[in-house]
Structure 1
Amino acid sequence: MRITLRAATALLGAALLAGTPHAMARTGSADQADSTGISVPAAAPAADPAYEVLVFSKTAGFRHSSIDEGIATLQDLGATNNFTVDATEDAGAFTGSNLARYEAVVFLSTTGDVLNATQQTAFEQYIQGGGGYVGIHAAADTEYDWPFYEGLAGALFQSHPAVQSATVKVEDRAHDATAHLGATWQRTDEWYNYRSNPRTTAHVLASLDESSYSGGSMSGDHPISWCKDYQGGRAFYTGGGHTDESYGEPAFRRHLLGGIRWVADRTQADCRPETGYQTLFSGSNTNGWKQAGPGGFTLADGTLTSHGGLGMLWYSARELQGDYSLKLDWKAAGDDNSGVFVGFPASDDPWSAVNNGYEIQIDATDAPDRTTGSVYGFKSADLAARDAALNPPGEWNTYEIRVTGERLELFLNGRKINDFTNADPARSLAQGYIGLQNHGDGDDVAFRNVRVKQSGPTPGPRAGEVKGVNGKCLDVDGAQTADGTKIQVWTCNGSTAQRWTVADGTLRALGKCLDVSGGGSADGTRIQLWTCNGTGAQGWTPQADGTVRNPQSGKCLDASGGTWNDGTPVHLWSCHAGANQKWTLP
Structure 2
Amino acid sequence: MLRHLTPAASGNDRRTSRSRRLPAILAAIAVTAAMIPALPAQAAAFKVLVFSKTAGFRHDAIPAGIQAIRDLGTGNDFAVDATEDSGAFTTANLAQYQAVVFLSTTGDVLNDSQQAAFQSYVDGGGGYVGVHAAADTEYNWPYYGQLMGAWFASHPAIQQATVRNEDRAHAATAHLATTWSRTDEWYNYRTNPRPNVRVLQSLDESSYSGGNMGDHPITWCRPQSSGRAFYTGLGHTQESYADPGFRSLLLGGIRYAARAVHADCRPETGYTTLYNGSTAGWSQAGPGSFANSDATLTSQGGMGMLWYSARELRSYSLKLDWKLTGDSNSGVIVGFPATGDPGAALNTGYEVQIDATDTADRTTGAIYGFKSADLAARDAALNPPGQWNTYELLVEGERLQVFLNGVKINDFTNTDPVRSLQQGHLGIQNHGSGDVVSFRNIRIKELTGTPGGTGPLRGTASGRCLDVSGASQANGAQAQLWDCNGQANQQWTSTAAGELRVYGTKCLDVNGGGTADGTAVIIWTCNGQNNQKWRHNADGTITAVGANKCLDVGGTANGTRARIWTCNGGANQRWSRG
Could you state the TM-score of these two structures normalised by the residue count of structure 1?
Answer: 0.70
Q: 2:371 aligns to what?
A: 379
Q: 1:397 aligns to what?
A: 389
- Please give the residue correspondences for 1:255-266 in structure 2 after superposition, counting only pairs within 5 Å: 255-266=249-260
Structure 1 position 111 matched with structure 2 position 106: yes
* Residue from 106, 122, 127 that aligns with 2:117: 122
Give the conservation status (yes or no) of the 8 Å contact 1:331–1:446: yes
Q: Distance in 2 between matches of 1:453 and 1:427?
A: 22
* Residue from 229, 243, 252 that aligns with 1:249: 243
- Please give the residue correspondences for 1:324-339 in structure 2 after superposition, counting only pairs within 5 Å: 324-339=316-331
Q: Distance in 2 between matches of 1:359 and 1:131?
A: 35
**In terms of Rg, which structure is larger?**
1
Structure 1 position 238 matched with structure 2 position 232: yes
Name the CA shift for 1:343/1:41 in 2 (closer, same or farther; >3 Å).
farther
Structure 1 position 431 matched with structure 2 position 426: no
Q: 1:316 aligns to what?
A: 309
How far apart are residue 48 of structure 1 and its match?
A: 5.7
Q: Distance in 1 between matches of 2:286 and 2:86?
A: 63
Could you say what secondary structure the match of 1:314 adopts?
A: strand
Q: 1:145 aligns to what?
A: 140
Q: 2:523 aligns to what?
A: none
Q: Distance in 2 between matches of 1:369 and 1:152?
A: 38
What is the letter of the counterpart of residue 361 of structure 1? Q
Could you say what secondary structure the match of 1:431 adopts?
A: coil
Measured against aligned partners, the alpha-carbon deviations of 1:42-95 in whole angstroms (never above 9, x if no partner) come to 332546621111000000000000001100100110111111111110101111
Q: 2:200 aligns to what?
A: 205
Task: Structure 2: state its 5+ residue gaps.
Answer: 1-28, 451-578
Task: Structure 1: state its 5+ residue gaps.
Answer: 1-33, 459-586
Give the conservation status (yes or no) of the 8 Å contact 1:336–1:445: yes
What is the letter of the counterpart of residue 126 of structure 2? G
Q: Distance in 2 between matches of 1:45 and 1:270?
A: 21
Q: 1:419 aligns to what?
A: 411
* Residue from 57, 68, 85 that aligns with 1:90: 85
Q: 1:288 aligns to what?
A: 281
Question: Is the deviation greater in 422-431 or in 372-381?
Answer: 422-431
Give the conservation status (yes or no) of the 8 Å contact 2:40–2:76: no
Give the conservation status (yes or no) of the 8 Å contact 1:105–1:134: yes
Q: 1:229 aligns to what?
A: 223
Count of aligned residue pairs for this structure pair: 418
Q: 2:13 aligns to what?
A: none
Structure 1 position 441 matched with structure 2 position 433: yes
Could you say what secondary structure the match of 2:417 adopts?
A: coil
Measured against aligned partners, the alpha-carbon deviations of 1:435-488 in whole angstroms (never above 9, x if no partner) come to 000001100011000000001379xxxxxxxxxxxxxxxxxxxxxxxxxxxxxx
Give the conservation status (yes or no) of the 8 Å contact 2:41–2:77: no
Q: 1:135 aligns to what?
A: 130
Give the conservation status (yes or no) of the 8 Å contact 1:40–1:251: no
Give the conservation status (yes or no) of the 8 Å contact 2:332–2:352: yes
Q: 2:401 aligns to what?
A: 409
Give the conservation status (yes or no) of the 8 Å contact 1:157–1:192: yes
Could you say what secondary structure the match of 2:424 adopts?
A: strand
- Please give the residue correspondences for 1:500-579 in structure 2 after superposition, counting only pairs within 5 Å: none
How far apart are residue 431 of structure 1 and its match?
A: 3.0
How far apart are residue 40 of structure 1 and its match?
A: 7.9
Give the conservation status (yes or no) of the 8 Å contact 2:160–2:183: yes
Could you say what secondary structure the match of 1:247 adopts?
A: helix
Question: Is the deviation greater in 360-369 or in 266-275?
Answer: 360-369
Q: 1:192 aligns to what?
A: 187
Q: 2:61 aligns to what?
A: 66
Could you say what secondary structure the match of 1:343 adopts?
A: strand
Give the conservation status (yes or no) of the 8 Å contact 2:53–2:105: yes
Name the CA shift for 1:241/1:130 in 2 (closer, same or farther; >3 Å).
same
Measured against aligned partners, the alpha-carbon deviations of 1:517-566 in whole angstroms (never above 9, x if no partner) come to xxxxxxxxxxxxxxxxxxxxxxxxxxxxxxxxxxxxxxxxxxxxxxxxxx
What is the letter of the counterpart of residue 302 of structure 1? A
User: Identity percentage over the alignment?
Assistant: 69
- Please give the residue correspondences for 1:157-172 in structure 2 after superposition, counting only pairs within 5 Å: 157-172=152-167
How far apart are residue 41 of structure 1 and its match?
A: 4.3
Question: Is the deviation greater in 425-434 or in 79-88?
Answer: 425-434
Q: Distance in 1 between matches of 2:311 and 2:215?
A: 28
- Please give the residue correspondences for 1:33-48 in structure 2 after superposition, counting only pairs within 5 Å: 41-46=36-41
Measured against aligned partners, the alpha-carbon deviations of 1:142-199 in whole angstroms (never above 9, x if no partner) come to 0000001001101100000000000000000000000000000111000000011111
- Please give the residue correspondences for 1:574-585 in structure 2 after superposition, counting only pairs within 5 Å: none
Could you say what secondary structure the match of 1:373 adopts?
A: coil
Q: Distance in 2 between matches of 1:46 and 1:315?
A: 38
Q: 1:49 aligns to what?
A: 44
Q: 1:270 aligns to what?
A: 264
Name the CA shift for 1:281/1:249 in 2 (closer, same or farther; >3 Å).
same
What is the letter of the counterpart of residue 229 of structure 1? P
Measured against aligned partners, the alpha-carbon deviations of 1:209-236 in whole angstroms (never above 9, x if no partner) come to 0111011111x21000000001221000
Q: 1:540 aligns to what?
A: none
Q: Distance in 2 between matches of 1:393 and 1:180?
A: 15
* Root mean square deviation of aligned Cα: 1.5
Could you say what secondary structure the match of 2:134 adopts?
A: helix
Give the conservation status (yes or no) of the 8 Å contact 1:167–1:212: yes
